[in-house]
Amino acid sequence: MHHAYIDKFAYQDSPIHRLDSRVKFIVVLVFTAVVISLPRISLSIVVCYAVGPFTILVLGGIPLRFAFKHILLVSPFVLVLALSCPLYDKTPVTVVFGPFLWQSSLGWVRCFTILGKFIVTMLALIALVSTTRFGDLLTGLQRLGVPKLLIIQLGFLYRYIFVLIDRAHHILRARAGRTLRNLGFKAELKIAAAMLGSLLIRSIDSAERINIAMQSRGFDGSWRTLSKLQIRRTDLLFALMAASFMLGLYIFVRPVLQ
Amino acid sequence: MHMANELLSVPVAAGTLAIAAGGLGLICRNVRQVIAADKLALMGILGAFVFAAQMVNFQLPAMPGTSGHMVGAVLLAIILGPHAGAIVISSVVIIQCLIFQDGGLLALGCNIINMALVPSYLGYFLYKTATAGPFSSLRVSIGAVLACVIAMQVSAALVPIQAALSGVLAVPFSTFLITMLGVHLLIGLIEGLITVAVLGYLQQVRPDVFVDSLPGKVRLSRKAVLITLVIFTLVIGGGLSLLASDMPDGLEWSYAERPDQPDFEAAVSNDSAAIAAVDDFQARYAPLPDYSRRSSAIGETGEAQADISAGWTSFAGVVGSAVTMAAIWLTAWILRKKQLPKA
């Protein structure tokens, strides 16, 4: 079966892809924190910060349409939250934007700032995930001190998500092929329970088989990988550039606005 | 109920991240001694099962077009025990954040607490309490439904509380809370029903999955659902009516002095210096839009001038950023065009 592999671009090659996963992770984390702590009613500075993830996406060769489509997919909750702002905050404000000047309410300003921050932080996260192979990210996280049990768990989970989603698709198709009308809630619930139950049993069974296979190959609960993570000069350069971008923008904007 | 980054302030995000990391670390260390290596594959695959299970949807009554699906935290806690269940659901939340970008990176701590730790432990505790004593199908049903409903309500209530502590709510706190609770009451109820139905199916087909926790036959009955709802209504009615009687609106609630809960007040007043600093910071450095309340313009000319110059600055910033991005994109495009014929 075919479904879009969310992180299919992680297997490309570019200067961004070759960076150390730890450095990228920390930079994205700090970037997100910086963007979130920006004033709640300043849209323009958020736009300035958008340059960072945008550059990384372009350098990494990630299609922008992919990124924005993905953001749209996860936006409903934030969208509801942002759109409820104008309803509750009707303080009139005058928005001055270069040669333009118009009346608006504080709620709308907040609404757009929330959306702006959401898009910028999501761009940063997409930039991280779609330029880093998940295995490398996990190794990096382990070096950063995440417990090994959790890393193994995440690795297994990532490996089998798409396998099980395929199985769920098979079951769903079988149901669609046999259901011709709405059967009422009770029957629907019963069918869904049987589907979930059989999916669960199949998962448990395949887990048993996988376990036997892994034991016979000497799995003792720890993973050994070939990837050697080491911080190189380019990684330091990237971290330096990212830091100076965030700090520089901050310092540059601050005095002008006082 | 994935929390977004925008709902949190940095101190709250850092605090919850620390709590979640500490909790997970503790669980991992303790569980490591209990869980043999042969459980690792099972836990990983059950995590993937949670993803696949979310695709199995079914029609809800009275609301054509909407469909429900299972989250599975309580089911996994019943099958695997609370510790392993908490780790599995946490890893699901982490993958949802990293691979599917559902919920922000900063909000990860909150999401792990709300969606993994609380439902697993609270749900398991409630289920165990309800099913203590001799086995009966009614008890298991009530236990599972109650565990799902209450665990879901508690985690739904945590979202507005965390947002209010961050001080970023535009929506009044009580409205947000009631909306979240209302929506998740329905979700929790459906989760409970499907959990019991799945337990019944498993019991019928593969009784060996539950080693000795379900000795008899589980059947979902109408009586069980009704009794659960009655219990839940009593709990909520008793608890919330006390709370809601004279609740100040919105954020003030979280700052209000609460003699009944001394810890509560202390926790917030600790932060108040930082919050004041942040407010001050925001008032000073907010570039766009520079809003002035028309009613309270005292030094009018000076402020207006400052407004206009700041407006130009932000204009320059936005236009500059747009031009930069366009330049970067164009350069990359040209470079790629050049590379393509060679490759």
What number is the ipTM of this complex? Answer: 0.84
A21 plus A83 within the same structural domain? yes
A127 plus A154 within the same structural domain? no
Task: In whole angstroms, give the CA distance from residue A220 to residue A193.
Answer: 35
Task: State the best of B98, B308, B331 to mutate against chain A, taking most chain A CBs within 10 Å.
Answer: B98
B134 plus B233 within the same structural domain? yes
Q: Is residue B235 part of a domain?
A: yes
A93 plus A135 within the same structural domain? yes
Q: Is residue A221 part of a domain?
A: no
The rounded radius of gyration (Å) of the Cα atoms in chain B is 25
Q: Is residue B258 part of a domain?
A: no
* Arithmetic mean of pLDDT over chain A: 83
Q: Is residue B327 part of a domain?
A: yes
Q: How many domains are there within chain A?
A: 2
B236 plus B306 within the same structural domain? no
B212 plus B326 within the same structural domain? no
A179 plus A246 within the same structural domain? no
DSSP A92: E
**To the nearest whole angstrom, how far is the Cα of A226 from the nearest Cα of chain B?**
21
Bridge partners (DSSP) listed for residue A95: A102
Bridge partners (DSSP) listed for residue A104: A93
Helix (H, G, I), strand (E, B) or coil at B205: helix
Among residues B186, B216, B250, the one where a domain terminates is B250
B136 plus B211 within the same structural domain? yes
B63 plus B133 within the same structural domain? yes
Tell me which residue in B6, B37, B209 faces A78 most closely, judged by beta carbons.
B6
Closest CA to B183 of B336, B308, B66: B66
Q: Is the peptide bond before B289 cis (omega within 30 degrees of 0)?
A: yes
B60 plus B170 within the same structural domain? yes
Predicted local confidence at residue B122, as pLDDT: 92
Among residues B187, B216, B250, the one where a domain terminates is B250
A183 plus A120 within the same structural domain? no
Predicted local confidence at residue B171, as pLDDT: 74
The residue-averaged pLDDT of A174-203 equals: 85
B240 plus B301 within the same structural domain? no
A176 plus A192 within the same structural domain? yes
A237 plus A135 within the same structural domain? yes
Higher pLDDT, B335 or A98: B335
Contact (CB, 8 A) for B4 and A77? yes
Bridge partners (DSSP) listed for residue A105: A92
B83 plus B24 within the same structural domain? yes
Structural domain harbouring B310: 295-342
Among residues B250, B279, B314, the one where a domain terminates is B250
Q: How confident is the model at residue A5 (pLDDT cuts 50, 70, 90)?
A: low
Amino acid present at B260 = D
A118 plus A166 within the same structural domain? no
Please report residues of B whose CB lies closer than 8 A to that of A126: 101
Predicted local confidence at residue B280, as pLDDT: 55
DSSP A53-75: HHHHHHHTT--HHHHHHHHHHH-
Domain at B241, CATH number: 1.10.1760.20
Q: Is residue B141 part of a domain?
A: yes
Count Cβ atoms below 10 Å from residue B326 Cβ, excluding itself.
Answer: 11
Residue A239 touches chain B, beta carbons under 8 Å: no
Flag residues of chain B having pLDDT under 70.
Answer: 1, 33-37, 59-69, 170, 209-225, 229, 232-314, 340-343
Predicted local confidence at residue A28, as pLDDT: 92
Closest CA to B284 of A41, A46, A128, A154: A41
Q: Is residue B282 part of a domain?
A: no
Task: In whole angstroms, give the CA distance from residue B309 to residue A78.
Answer: 32
A134 plus A156 within the same structural domain? no
Q: Is residue B90 part of a domain?
A: yes
Task: State the best of A24, A131, A170, A257 to mutate against chain B, taking most chain B CBs within 10 Å.
Answer: A257
Q: Is residue A243 part of a domain?
A: yes
Task: In whole angstroms, give the CA distance from residue B285 to residue A252.
Answer: 12
Q: Is residue A76 part of a domain?
A: yes
Predicted local confidence at residue B341, as pLDDT: 60
Q: How many domains are there within chain B?
A: 2
Task: List Cα–Cα distances, A151 to A217, A222, B116, in angstroms.
Answer: 20, 10, 16
Tell me which residue in B42, B91, B308 faces A207 most closely, judged by beta carbons.
B42
A125 plus A179 within the same structural domain? no
Task: In whole angstroms, give the CA distance from residue B113 to residue B23.
Answer: 9
Task: In whole angstroms, give the CA distance from residue B37 to residue B24.
Answer: 18
**To the nearest whole angstrom, how far is the Cα of A91 from the nearest Cα of chain B?**
8
Structural domain harbouring A170: 147-216
Q: Is residue A222 part of a domain?
A: no
Q: Is residue B70 part of a domain?
A: yes
**To the nearest whole angstrom, how far is the Cα of B239 from the nearest Cα of chain A?**
27
Residue A100: closest C-alpha in chain B: B311
Structure confidence by residue, pLDDT tens digits, A34-53: 888 877 767 778 888 888 89
For residue A94, pLDDT over 80 is answered with: no
B212 plus B331 within the same structural domain? no
Tell me which residue in A40, A168, A201 faces B206 most closely, judged by beta carbons.
A201
Record the tokens describing residue B100, joined without a space. Answer: 């599917």
Task: State the best of B105, B284, B312 to mutate against chain A, taking most chain A CBs within 10 Å.
Answer: B105
A212 plus A248 within the same structural domain? no
Q: Is residue B95 part of a domain?
A: yes
Predicted local confidence at residue B265, as pLDDT: 41
Higher pLDDT, B63 or A104: A104
A88 plus A128 within the same structural domain? yes
Q: Is residue A224 part of a domain?
A: no
For residue A8, pLDDT over 50 is answered with: yes
